[in-house]
Amino acid sequence: MTALRWIVLGLAALLMNLPVIATLATSLKPPAEIMGNPGLWVESPTLANYATVVTVSDRLDVWAYLGNSAAAATLGAALPLLLCLPLAFVAARRGYGRRLLLPLVVNLRALPLIIFAIPIYLMYQSAGLLDTRVGLGLVLAVVNLPLTALILLNAIADIPRELDEAAAMDGARTGRMIWRILVPALRPALATSFVFGFITAWNEFLFGLMLTTREAVPMTVGASFFFAGAGGGVQWGVAAAVIVVAMLPPVLLGLLMYRQIGQAMVAGAVKG
Amino acid sequence: MTPRARENRWLVAPAVAFLLLMLGFPTVLNVIYSLSDVSFETLRSPRLDGLGNYGEVLSDGAFWASLSFSLRFGALTAVAEVLLGLFLAVFLAPLLRRHPWLLAVLTLPMMIAPAMMGLMYRLMLHEFVGPLPHYLFLWFGSSPAFLSPAWAFWTIAAIEVLQWTPFTLLLFHLAYASIPGEVREAARMDGARAFRLFRRIELPMLLPTVLVALLIRLIDGIRVFDNIWVLVGAGAGGSTTSLPIYIYTAFFRGGPLGPALAASVLFALAAFATLALALRLAGRRAP
Amino acid sequence: MTRTTSLIALMALAFPLAAPAAAEVTVLGWPGGPEEAALRAAAEAYNARPETAEEDRVELLFTSRDGFFDKLAADLAAGSTAFDANLIATYSIGRYAPFMRPVDLGPQAAATFGDAVLSTMQFEGEQFGVPTDLSLHFLYVRRDLMDALLADPEAQATYTRIAQERLGEALAPKPPEDWTWRDWAAASLYFSQSVNPDSPTRYGTVLQMKNLLFNMMVFQSLPRAYGADWMDAEGNVTVDSEAYRTGLELYKLLYDAGATPPDSTSYEYAEANAAYASGQVASMVQWNAAAGELTSEETAPAVAAVTDTLPPPAGPEGRFTHVHSLGLGINAAAENPEGAERFLQWLATPEAMAVYARAGGAPGLAGDALAAVAADRPDLAQLGDYAVNYGYVMRGATGANALAVYERQAADFTGYWAGTSTLDEALASATEGMTELLAPPAQ
């Protein structure tokens, strides 16, 4: 039976990760081989594609894009924590906002946010936030509000009320109680929300495209700079290499935190 | 107002203020645009026009086609992801418990930006330079035309399912792992065999998770844009136009913007109603 | 408390404010590929000139190729000042003209490019940009396969039989230079294994049938050769015509017969090139930009040495290729429009175009300007020649809604090819859409 489980695991892992494997293989092939050898076994491996990606040129600067993404995604993942913590607290502990505010926030997840692209563009233009990391980060924060709110809401609901009541009896005011008592207990949930938010923010393309031009270009948009070959074609080798580079930060972050992700996701999911 | 009520307001104030700041003006503007005759040239001076755009959208066959596409796509992928995730989580539970690092490998697909995923699939599925057709030809002598009109929907659905099953897998793995050991022990002592144990005891305990997973993935499935757009665009004859793609193409077609925004407002209202209903039902279920 | 403050301070460091723009000319160019390399070379040469004033120095800006035109639309509509000059294309001038200002290219422009090429950057009688790169279509063909066919009488018999069976006409193989569209179809059928099991290639051709407006440009040279046009002189939409029907049916015939890969309904430029470069396709109608890639041993070793580039096949009304140009025009909200205009005027001179062409650009040059680069870029003569002799622009294709028309056609025609609608339905829908889009603005 165990052998069967291993086989199923292997198949599942292989099938689901097939694009990752293919991308890796392609990134190691020279252009001629990409056209000539469709197999996954690389005949003449080369690091030339990666060299192209990491070389800073007048036009392409992968380090700048990575930096921009890191800054904007950090803001986009951290800000929701600050905003949703008090919101989740009053909703979980006092039922305040459960009927209207909370569904409204969670519903944001269902909206195709491109409809806000033009109005936000106009707003940012007047506010001077176009092509800035702050501007992009703020929009990414909006994108992450729904899931963060949901995760924190359920995490708080999991913490026994007696804890707050004990703190209140010791004379602690609400703010201090949240900070001193709840936050430490919420560390897994906060970490999880941050990671999910970071990954989501990191992978955002449309707002990155519309709201930046030169200074604050994130990695998803910057990656597409590498794709283009002559006349509209795609240079597959370099494209594959840049996709691998672009996915490293969220993958590493996810790998470090997978345990935490799992734990808080359960609490979030089961309570609904 | 009691001190507590006042405190409540202060606590939600940051979130509310942020939302008003970021989305207040855009929402108002979008509603105005949806009721106006406006194009890229007249962005700053829309001309109010009444419900004409809504009428146009509701009578546009392509809108309903895209809605149908999105609903079918969302439902199919959500169900597939939940079934596969549940199966894998339960079947592989012993392995995952002993070697937690395996989860890392299984959740890798979620970490890639959908737009990039679509680009790599363009290469992977290409008849001449893609590994998939290559090996299929090698082993079976032929390979399906993955992106032809007959197959495109299924191919894209398969791609979506493969990328997001890890999400449900993780969800169910931990729900399953958090079932108290005593429950299982008790059932086993009563003589229950594995499958009966699962069906009678464990599955009911997993049911809330199943419902939430279905809901989340349904919403996400309806919302899919990047994957489809990069791979097949709107599709031959508009055959792979999901609702977001419909809105996107309507938006950037270079004519009046009103209809695109009317479509998004309609979609937003429908989504809100559905979600509010679902949350109310879930709320009734929770202790 | 101190930890939080330092954390906040650290975050603040990550967000420097954007520097104020220097007084210069910012040019938004077409990213990636030879156009970018050529523009860089030109900008460098311009900045190095002693006559170029300090405040007219050109700085280049490139954004993403994906979504480039959508983003450009948003930027222009919002009156962005991030660039003074930007890329435009013949088919989108109408769309962007409201946000751009006409430009005076100076006295040398007409001699450098010729009137035909200059007109690709005109809208409603005004010049809106300098045409820096010409785009048209070649017929890429495997010379080795065609030579072998022409030397083998048995193969020729098979060819004629297939032509009779599938096209109803007993055609004999001809050299590709003499092809009509019917010959091209016959050859495509012959070289497809699903029609001719002995064919050396799997497919006779590769059609780009993705629902994409650019694929319509590739397609429409075929109906044009039968006399098609978007509108007649009175302004009636004439897409439901014998010419269009012939063209659409020919593509469908080839698709259904298996003369093009079954995934062709999702193919555009990159996929078609990959198919041809694999060596399994006998001919292809494709943009001229692919010539570099497909004739280079490094990127297409299987076919580079045996590929010829010819003008598209001919029809009863002649030989045609769609032609458009990419160019640079001036943003109406530019901060330094005069400086931008000076740069564009310099670009329209033979010296500038020589730099541009040598660095990889593909301008349509005439007279002395062409002679100056003929040695380095012999292909430019071919380009210019085809543009002048075979180039056409559909009536209405430079209008404000040209892009929308292409998009409408793409949706309708690909639907027919994919089998989701009949020919009559597709043409009716196209006529309806085009009539609305091409209607003269209400007075």
**CATH of residue A78:** 1.10.3720.10
Nearest residue to C336 (alpha-carbon basis) of C101, C83, C103: C83
Q: Which residue of C has its CA nearest to B128?
A: C275
| pLDDT, average across residues C141-160 | 94
The alpha carbon of residue A163 is apart from the nearest alpha carbon of chain B, in Å, by 19
Q: Which of residues 169-228 of C touch A (CB under 8 A)?
A: 214
Mutation pick from C138, C294, C299 vs chain A, by most beta carbons of A within 10 Å, is C299
pLDDT at A232: 60
Band the pLDDT of A229: cuts 50, 70, 90: low
Please indicate if any CB of chain A lies within 8 Å of the CB of C375.
no
Q: Are B234 and C411 a contacting pair at CB < 8 A?
A: yes
Domain count, chain B: 1
SS3 label, residue C344: helix
For testing contact with chain C, the best of B39, B40, B231 (most C CBs within 10 A): B40
| CA closest to B87 among chain A residues | A8
The pTM for the full model equals 0.82
ipTM over 0.90: no
User: Is residue B34 a part of any domain in this protein?
Assistant: no
Please give the pLDDT value at position A266: 46
Q: What is the mean pLDDT of chain A?
A: 82
Give CA–CA dist B133/B144, Å, rounded.
8
Q: What is the percent of chain B with per-residue pLDDT over 70, rounded to a whole number?
A: 93
Both tokens of residue C35?
């156009």
User: What percent of chain B lies above the pLDDT cut of 90?
Assistant: 14
Of the pLDDT bands very low, low, confident and very high (cuts 50, 70, 90), residue C4 is very low
Inside any domain, residue A245: no
pLDDT at residue C430 in the model: 94
Residue B35 is assigned to a structural domain of this protein: no
Q: Counting one residue from A and one from B, how many pairs have CB atoms under 8 Å apart?
A: 255
- In-domain check, residue B133: yes
Dihedral of CA atoms A138, A139, A140, A143 in degrees, nearest 10, equals 130
Quick check: C262 and B255 CB within 8 A? no
More confident site: A117 or B76: B76
**Residue A207 within a domain:** yes
Which stretch, A52-56, A157-161, C50-54, C413-417, has highest mean pLDDT?
Answer: C413-417
Q: Which amino acid, residue C71?
A: K
* Confidence class for position A164, pLDDT limits 50, 70, 90: confident
Residues of chain C with C-beta less than 8 angstroms from the C-beta of B125: 263
Segment 154-193 of chain B within 8 Å of chain A by CB? 162-163, 165-166, 170-171, 173-175, 178
* Structure confidence at residue B231 (pLDDT): 82
Token pair for B4:
């507590």
Helix (H) or strand (E) holding B4: helix B3-19
Contact in structure between B148 and C256 (CB atoms under 8 Å):
no
Contact indicator for C349, C108 with CB cutoff of 8 Å: yes
Are the Cβ atoms of C418 and B128 closer than 8 angstroms? no
Q: How far is B253 from chain C (nearest CA, A)?
A: 6
> Which pLDDT band, with edges at 50, 70 and 90, does A259 fall under?
low
pLDDT at C10 over 60: no
Question: In sequence order, which residues have a C-beta less than 8 Å from that of residue A105 and are 6 or more positions away?
Answer: A84, A87, A145, A146, A149, B15, B19
Between CA B187 and CA C261 the distance in angstroms is 58
**A74 found inside a domain:** yes
Q: Do B114 and A203 touch (CB under 8 A)?
A: yes
Of A230-244, C77-91, C317-331, C370-384, least confident by mean pLDDT is A230-244
Residue C160 to chain A, least CA–CA distance (Å): 33
Which phi and psi angles does C187 have, rounded to 5°?
-65, -40
Residue B25 forms part of a structural domain: no
Maximum CA pair distance of chain C?
Answer: 91
Q: Is A192 inside a domain boundary?
A: yes
Q: Does A176 touch chain B (CB under 8 A)?
A: no
Is the residue at A45 inside a domain?
Answer: no
> What is the average pLDDT across B172-190?
73
pLDDT over 70 at C42, yes or no? yes
Residue B200 in any domain: the answer is yes
Distance from the B225 Cα atom to the nearest Cα atom in chain C, whole angstroms: 14
In a domain, B6, yes or no: no
Q: How many residues does chain A have?
A: 272
CB neighbourhood size of C376 (10 A): 11
Residue A38 lies in a domain: no
Q: Where are the alpha helices (DSSP H) in B149-286?
A: 152-177, 181-189, 194-197, 203-222, 226-232, 243-251, 258-285
Contact B173 A25 (CB under 8 A): no
**Enclosing domain of residue B242:** 61-285
Question: Would an 8 Å CB–CB cutoff place A57 in contact with chain B?
Answer: no
Within 8 A of B92 by CB-CB distance, chain A residues are 5, 8-9, 12
Rounded Cα–Cα distance for residues C272 and C281 (Å): 10
Sort out which chain A residues have CB atoms less than 8 A from B22's CB and list them: 120, 138-139, 142
The alpha carbon of residue C308 is apart from the nearest alpha carbon of chain A, in Å, by 18
Residues in Cβ contact with C107 at an 8 Å cutoff, skipping those fewer than 6 apart: none
- Rounded to whole angstroms, how far apart are CA atoms C272 and C284? 8
Which residues, numbered 45 to 84 in chain B, qualify as contacts with chain A under a Cβ-Cβ cut-off of 8 Å? none
Best to test chain A binding among C66, C215, C276 (most A CBs inside 10 Å): C66
What confidence score (pLDDT) does residue C20 get? 37
Q: Is B228 on the interface with C (CB under 8 A)?
A: no
Nearest CA to C110 among C349, C442, C372? C349
Residues of B in contact with A129 (CB under 8 A): none
Closest CA to B237 of A58, C64, C419: C419
Average pLDDT over residues A134-144: 94
Interchain CB contact of C97 with B (< 8 Å): no
| Cβ–Cβ gap C211/B233 under 8 Å | yes
C263 touches chain B (CB under 8 A): yes
Lowest-pLDDT choice from A109-118, B225-234, C137-146, C339-348: A109-118
Which residues 82-141 on chain A approach chain B with CB closer than 8 angstroms? 82-84, 86-87, 89-90, 94, 96-98, 101-107, 109-112, 114-116, 118-120, 122-123, 138-139, 141
Reply yes or no on whether the pLDDT at A57 is more than 80: no
Dmax over Cα atoms in chain A, in whole Å? 75
Instruction: Determine, yes or no, domain membership for B49.
Output: no
pLDDT at B283: 61
A–C CB contacts, 8 A cutoff, strictly below: 117
Q: Is A22 an 8 Å CB contact of chain B?
A: yes
List, as ranges, residues 62-121 from C with C-beta within 8 Å of A. 62-67, 71, 74-75, 78-80, 82
Q: What is the pLDDT of residues C241-295, one digit of tens each?
A: 999 999 999 999 999 999 999 999 989 888 899 899 999 999 999 999 888 888 8
Report the share of chain A in percent with pLDDT over 70.
90
Which residue from B minimizes the CA distance to C94? B254
Hey, is C280 helix, strand or coil? coil
Q: Closest CB to C266: pick one of B128, B147, B237.
A: B147
Please list every residue in chain C whose beta carbon sits closer than 8 Å to the beta carbon of residue A232: 33, 65, 214, 269-270, 287, 289
Residues in chain B: 287
Which residues, at least 6 apart from B60, have a Cβ–Cβ distance to it below 8 Å?
A: B259
Average pLDDT over residues C110-115: 86
Maximal CA-CA distance, chain B: 77
Does the pLDDT at position A265 exceed 50?
A: no
Residues of B in contact with A35 (CB under 8 A): 128-129
Residues C162-220 pLDDT 10s: 999 999 999 999 999 999 999 999 999 999 999 999 999 999 999 999 998 899 999 99
Name the residue range of residue A106's domain: 64-220
Q: What total number of domains does chain A contain?
A: 1
Token match 């190691």: residue? A28
Give me the pLDDT at residue C247, please.
95
For A89-142, where are the E strands, in sequence order? Answer: none
Tokens 């829309």 belong to B46
Cβ of residue C94 closer than 8 Å to a chain B Cβ:
no
Q: For position B152, which CATH number holds?
A: 1.10.3720.10
Pick from A26, A33, A15, A70: nearest CA to A50: A26
Give percent of chain C above pLDDT 90: 55
* Nearest Cα to Cα of residue C101 among C326, C337, C318: C337
Nearest alpha carbon to residue B246 among B108, B98, B61: B61
Q: Flag whether A31 is in a domain.
A: no
Element housing C8 (H / E):
helix C2-13
Do the domain assignments include residue A8?
Answer: no
Distances (CA, A) of C424 to C71, C220, C241, C246: 36, 18, 11, 13
In a domain, B168, yes or no: yes
